[in-house]
Each structure stands twice: as C-alpha cells, then as structure tokens.
C-alpha cells in the first residue's frame, strides 16, 4: 500500500489542524522528522495487534491510560516512573483479581496534540478581554496565555519526537531493567498510596503474589514472564505533518507503519469518514482505535470499520466508546448489536472520561469518580447482556497525588481541586483513584 501525500490529506479539509504562519519552518521540521529514526518497530506494532486480537476474542483485557496531554516539562524520570508504576499496579490488580491477561498501553511517549472545541480562548487580563489561539498541546503551542506562547511553532513537532524518544527509552529501560519484575510488586506501592484503603487492598494482593513467587522459586520455576512485561505507547494521531512524516514503509513487509507509536487513535472530532485522519490511518498497518461518542450511529461505526479494516483483521481495530454515564446504557446496545451482527471484528473499549467532564463552580474542569465508575459499569452490563466482551478501559490518569477529579475514597471535593490541579487539559484520576477504579473493574471482570 502507498502513503497518500500530505497535500491530498489537507485537501480533505483536515479538522483540528494548527494554522502555521511560517511555512519554511514547517517544511524544515517535517524534513527533519522524515529522516529521524523510528520510535517503534513495525514488528512491535504487529505483536500488539496480536495481543489486541486476543482482546477482540475475549481472551484478554486492555488497560490504556495516561495523561490527557503530556507536556515537555513532564518528561522527567520521576513523572514517567510514576505513570508506569500506576499502570503496573492497576494491571496487577486486574490480572490477579480477575485472572485475565492484561494488555498494557500508555497514553505516553507521543500524546502531545489536543483537539479543541474552539480555535480561540478568551480571558479577562487586567480588566480587558483578550482572545488568543487555544492551547492545542505542546506539539503545537505553549500553555501560557500570551500571544507569543500561543503562536503555533513547527519546531515543536521535532520536540515531540525528541521528548517521545526520551520517554520511550525510559519506559523500555524501566520495563526491561528490573523495575517491572513481579518481585517488585511491593515496592510499587509506596508512600501515600499504602495508607489508603485501596493501597491496603493492593498490599494484600502483593503479599499473595509474593507467596506464590516464593513457592515457584522453591520448586525451581523461574519463568521470564515474571521478570519483565510489555508496555506499549499510544497517542491520538492528530497533527498530520507529524504523523505523516513518521509514516514509513517497513522493509520487511513493504507496508506503511506510523512509527511514532505502537497504537494510534482517531479522536471523536476527527473521525469523519472522508476526512484526512481516517484516510491516513486507513493506510497504516499499526493497530488503531477510533473514539465513538454518543452521536455515533451503528451505520457510522460499520462504515468506519469497513474503511479502516476492510479485511476484518482481528486486533487491527479498537472502538473506544465515550458516551457518558447517563447515555451508555441507552446508546451502546444498538451499536454493539449491529456491529456484532455484521461479523465485524473489533475490540470494544470504554473511555469513561470524556463523556463525563463538567465545570466545577470554582471554574476547574473536573469529573466525578462515581460517574467514571457508573459508565464502566454500564459498559460491562451492556456487553454482558449482549454476550459480547467488554474488552478494556481507556482512562486519563497520572501517577501523582493530584486533585483534578472529585470523589473516591479520599472524598476529594470541588473545593479541593485547587490544591494540586496540574493538568493542562482534561482532569486525570490520581494514583489512589486509579487503583480504586482497578479494584472495581476487577470485580466487574470476575463476574
Ligand atoms: C482525548 O482522548 O483526550 C480526547 C480528546 O478524546 P475524544 O476524542 O474522545 O474527545
Ligand atoms: Mn482528554
């Protein structure tokens, strides 16, 4: 398969793209990216497709999570380790408590570009209304509310590449260098988490795993699966210049792969059937996802599956539904029923975040953990009733003790949000809330 050229993609009226003023700088950035080494290998993408095929068949569960928007400042050893740690802890809970293999995918090492509901943002500065371009993620412009920061800068695309490389290098080192060894299961449960009820429940599981490992050691069994694991990278494929420059023909198979991440997805705002994003991702061989919001009809979903996965390859396509807690029970069944009846191979994954965002009275964008849980429960109930497999969750979380979502065992309230609100985009579950969610989902999986 050949790769459509960038101009033809833009000719489709690509949604959610930055408007770059300096075309020469843009060309230079794209040229630099085109010659940069791949961040991931095609063979790794194929291996993930195989794992997602197991999810599609109902034999594994996908845990996909990370920041709404990564930032360049967030590329530190502590931050990356903390995110990895919460993913590993959640995966242990899901695997141990539900006895299901868990496929781990981070919203990490490339999640730098954001679609926005408005091109501009207006704030009152020194008593006067000021309107500037909206922040579109560190891939595009800066977060500070100044004209200079908000101007889209093509050099940032190269910075995305470099920061993704640094992050992925660290993730790979942590995972293969002993940090993800199951014998470390206790050490992942540190500091503030241990004192929470979820942390204590985790400690109990960790103790049981420890005993099982000691037993295995005693009988001389030491399988390599205990020492290492796999964590794949993923992000929304949004800025065409970046994703296109990172799309390469694999010498092994002669097929194009987007080597900027293992898994890429198309957002709710860019999934137009004839749009640029569907057109580009239709041509790559990576496993891909599409976000489906509450307005998606069953025919839309079928048309997307037909366009993006015409050979109906299991593992190639994941539908990430994000209906909102109040709409999933009514909206999801028709979609799942029709897609299933047509024999379409797809992994169904629940994003319980993006349909449940609201503005707190204090002005912070937030989500209630109860709504998140209610949407996941609705997702499980719908799939259980239809006899289909609830294949996974897609969540916005961080490994830190932030105060961005309300509720949970710590009873975070709207008045607490200002304490540690660090997201530059959507509110994330903190570490304790993430662990609580993992226990609840494990309970749903067990049934
Ligand atoms: C996101 O995942 O951060 C996002 C913008 O989601 P959606 O496309 O579902 O709105
Ligand atoms: Mn988000």
Confidence (pLDDT) at 113 = 98
Q: What is the spatial distance between Cα 126 and Cα 107, in angstroms, rounded to a whole number?
A: 37
Asked whether 214 and 205 are in contact (CB, 8 A), the reply is no
Nearest-CA residue for atom 4 of ligand 1: 267
130, β-bridge pairs: 123
Nearest-CA residue for atom 3 of ligand 1: 68
Nearest of 256, 257, 390 to residue 336 by alpha carbon: 390
- Global ipTM: 0.99
* pTM greater than 0.95: yes
What separation in Å is there between the alpha carbon of 271 and the centre of ligand 2?
Answer: 16
Burial of 3 (0-12, 13-18, 19+ CB in 10 A): middle
Burial of 233 (0-12, 13-18, 19+ CB in 10 A): buried
Confidence (pLDDT) at 192 = 65
Sign of the four-CA dihedral 201, 206, 211, 212: positive
At 328-352, the pLDDT tens digits run 999 999 999 999 999 999 999 999 9
Residues 6+ apart with CB under 8 A from 24: none
CA torsion, ordered 182, 184, 52, 163, to nearest 10 deg:
-150
Number of neighbouring beta carbons within 10 Å of residue 239: 25
Residues around ligand 2, an ion, CB closer than 5 A: 68, 426
Q: What is the spatial distance between Cα 346 and Cα 265, in angstroms, rounded to a whole number?
A: 14
Nearest of 129, 134, 96 to residue 18 by alpha carbon: 134
Pocket of ligand 1 (CB under 6 A): 68, 115, 236, 267-269, 291, 322, 354, 426
Our mutation pick for probing the ligand 1 site, out of 281, 426, 428, counting the most ligand atoms within 8 A of Cβ, is: 426
At 252-293, the pLDDT tens digits run 999 999 999 999 999 999 999 999 999 999 999 999 999 999
Residue ranges in the chain whose pLDDT is less than 50: none
84: tokens are 């990895």
What separation in Å is there between the alpha carbon of 64 and the centre of ligand 2?
Answer: 13
Nearest of 398, 397, 296 to residue 348 by alpha carbon: 296
Q: What is the spatial distance between Cα 67 and Cα 429, in angstroms, rounded to a whole number?
A: 9
What separation in Å is there between the alpha carbon of 268 and the centre of ligand 1?
Answer: 6
Nearest of 401, 390, 291 to residue 347 by alpha carbon: 390
| CA 208 to chain CA mean position, Å | 30
What separation in Å is there between the alpha carbon of 348 and the centre of ligand 1?
Answer: 16
Q: What is the spatial distance between Cα 52 and Cα 288, in angstroms, rounded to a whole number?
A: 10
Confidence (pLDDT) at 223 = 86
Our mutation pick for probing the ligand 1 site, out of 113, 239, 322, counting the most ligand atoms within 8 A of Cβ, is: 322
* Helix or strand holding residue 444 (H, E): helix 431-446
Locate the ligand 1 atom nearest the alpha carbon of residue 426 and give its number: 3
């Amino acid at each position: 398969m050949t790769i459509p050229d960038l101009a033809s993609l833009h000719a489709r009226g690509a949604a959610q793209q930055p408007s770059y003023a300096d075309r020469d700088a843009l060309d230079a950035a794209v040229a630099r990216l085109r010659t940069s080494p791949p961040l991931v290998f095609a063979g790794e993408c194929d291996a993930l497709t195989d794992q997602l095929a197991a999810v599609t068949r109902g034999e594994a569960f996908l845990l996909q999570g990370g920041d709404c928007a990564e930032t360049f400042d967030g590329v530190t050893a502590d931050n990356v380790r903390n995110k990895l740690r919460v993913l590993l802890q959640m995966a242990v809970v899901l695997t141990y408590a539900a006895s299901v293999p868990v496929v781990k995918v981070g919203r990490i090492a490339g999640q730098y570009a954001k679609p926005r509901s408005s091109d501009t943002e207006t704030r009152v500065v020194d008593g006067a209304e000021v309107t500037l371009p909206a922040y579109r993620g560190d891939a595009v412009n800066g977060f500070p509310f100044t004209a200079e920061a908000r101007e889209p800068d093509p050099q940032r695309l190269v910075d995305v590449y470099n920061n993704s490389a640094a992050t992925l290098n660290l993730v790979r080192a942590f995972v293969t260098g002993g940090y993800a060894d199951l014998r470390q299961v206790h050490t992942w449960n540190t500091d503030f988490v241990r004192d929470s009820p979820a942390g204590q429940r985790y400690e109990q599981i960790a103790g049981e795993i420890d005993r099982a490992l000691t037993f295995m050691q005693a009988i001389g069994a030491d399988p390599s699966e205990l020492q290492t694991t796999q964590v794949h990278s993923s992000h929304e494929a949004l800025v065409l210049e970046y994703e296109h420059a990172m799309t390469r023909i694999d010498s092994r198979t002669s097929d194009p792969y987007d080597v900027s991440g293992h898994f890429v997805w198309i957002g709710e705002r860019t999934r137009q059937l004839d749009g640029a994003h569907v057109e580009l991702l239709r041509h790559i061989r990576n496993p891909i996802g599409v976000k489906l919001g509450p307005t998606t009809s069953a025919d839309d979903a079928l048309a997307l599956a037909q366009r993006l996965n015409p050979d109906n390859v299991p593992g190639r396509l994941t539908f990430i539904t994000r209906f909102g807690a109040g709409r999933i029970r009514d909206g999801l069944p028709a979609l799942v029923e029709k897609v299933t009846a047509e024999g379409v191979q797809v992994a169904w994954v629940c994003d319980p975040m993006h349909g449940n965002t609201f503005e707190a009275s204090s002005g912070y964008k937030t989500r209630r953990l109860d709504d998140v849980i209610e949407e996941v429960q609705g997702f499980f109930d719908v799939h259980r009733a239809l006899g289909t497999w609830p294949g996974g969750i897609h969540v916005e979380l961080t490994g830190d003790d932030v105060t961005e979502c309300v509720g949970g065992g710590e009873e975070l309230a709207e008045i607490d949000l200002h304490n540690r609100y660090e997201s530059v985009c959507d509110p994330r579950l903190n570490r304790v809330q993430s662990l609580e969610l993992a226990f609840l989902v494990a309970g749903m999986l067990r049934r």
